[in-house]
Amino acid sequence: MNREKAHKAQVFEGAMAIAVNTVLFVAKFCAGLLTGSVALMADAWHTLSDSLSSVFIVIAAKLAAKKPDKQHPFGHGRWELIASLFVAFLLVMIGYEFLTSSINRFYNRESVVYGTLALMVTIASILTKEALAQYAFYLGRKHDNQVIAADGWHHRTDSLSSAIVLIGIIITRFVDGLWWMDSVLGVLCALAIFYAAYQIMNGAISKIMGEEPTQELIEELRAEVMKIYDNDLKLHHFHLHNYISQQELTFHFMLDKDTTIEKGHEMASVIEKMIKENYSIEATIHIEPLKHDRNA
């Protein structure tokens, strides 16, 4: 995986998102002011939060691209996860503000009359933000970049919240007396934002806490080792440490107790080299005697 290309993609996606979101924020904010809609205003500030989070994402990309140093021998890649958590935290704060505003408006029985401007701005927002989301998801998959994927979720929630507002606008154009519609739409927008925050936070925390390698990777490694030595070395006790810019894999394998230290070291080195070349993962292997009782 080319981390330099991944960081460049992250900077480009962030810069493009900042520009597009700023324009959308101005359009939504003006429409919200003219209609007095809390849902539109909430949607506008949600869009602005995209711009603010993208600024942090660009900064995180620069920090994550730094070379490993004495204090950080595994590199600075986890800045991407920190950026993802920041985006999630920002979403939670925005969602809470939208939720309380919508509930207050419901208690006060405040109604909104949507106009053609609100309709046009909302449709433009849905199309634009979903396009940004799809592009961010594509870059996230291509470069295995958690923070770009998180930004894609941010775009997606903005698109979904705008879609919810659009449904409300269309309904109120044909049905009278729905004074509560704007409040309900605001609550639904807030729930969509909370869900996105959960998705982002769950993914980032999972990587920070440490992951078990996929069963597919484990089976592939066992098959590759069998090709090299034509022997079942009983690979087990796998642990994956994901530093984003670098991944560290540790596991055990078993050798006959009469195998020399020199031969065991040679075999471990060959397997570690294979994993580095085939999977771009740094491996550390612990050797156990074949008759060793693992439960001892």
The residue to which tokens 């919810």 are assigned: 164
Domain at 215-289: CATH code: 3.30.70.1350
Angle, helices 215-229/261-279, rounded to nearest 10 degrees: 130
Q: Residue 175 — very low, low, confident or very high, per pLDDT cuts 50/70/90?
A: confident
pLDDT (tens digit per residue) in 229-279 = 877 788 888 888 777 667 788 889 888 888 888 998 999 999 999 998 888
Element (H, E) at 247: strand 247-255
Question: Are 23 and 38 in contact, with CB atoms under 8 Å apart?
Answer: no
Question: Are 15 and 55 in contact, with CB atoms under 8 Å apart?
Answer: no
Residue 148 has pLDDT above 80, yes or no: no
Distance CA 33, CA 35 (A): 6
Q: Compute φ and ψ for 5, nearest 5 degrees.
A: -65, -40
Fold (CATH) for 3-209: Alpha-lytic protease prodomain-like (1.20.1510)
Q: Residue 84 — very low, low, confident or very high, per pLDDT cuts 50/70/90?
A: confident
Query: Hey, what are 194's tokens?
Result: 């909370």
Residue 49 has pLDDT above 50, yes or no: yes
pTM: 0.60
> Which residues does 220 contact at the CB level (< 8 Å), separation at least 6?
none
Residue 86 has pLDDT above 70, yes or no: yes
Element (H, E) at 147: helix 146-174
Q: Residue 296 — very low, low, confident or very high, per pLDDT cuts 50/70/90?
A: very low
- pLDDT at position 70 is 73
Q: Where are the domains of the chain?
A: 3-209, 215-289
The residue to which tokens 């999977």 are assigned: 279
pLDDT average, residue stretch 18-38:
81
Residue 119 has pLDDT above 50, yes or no: yes
Relative to beta strand 282-289, strand 247-255 is: parallel
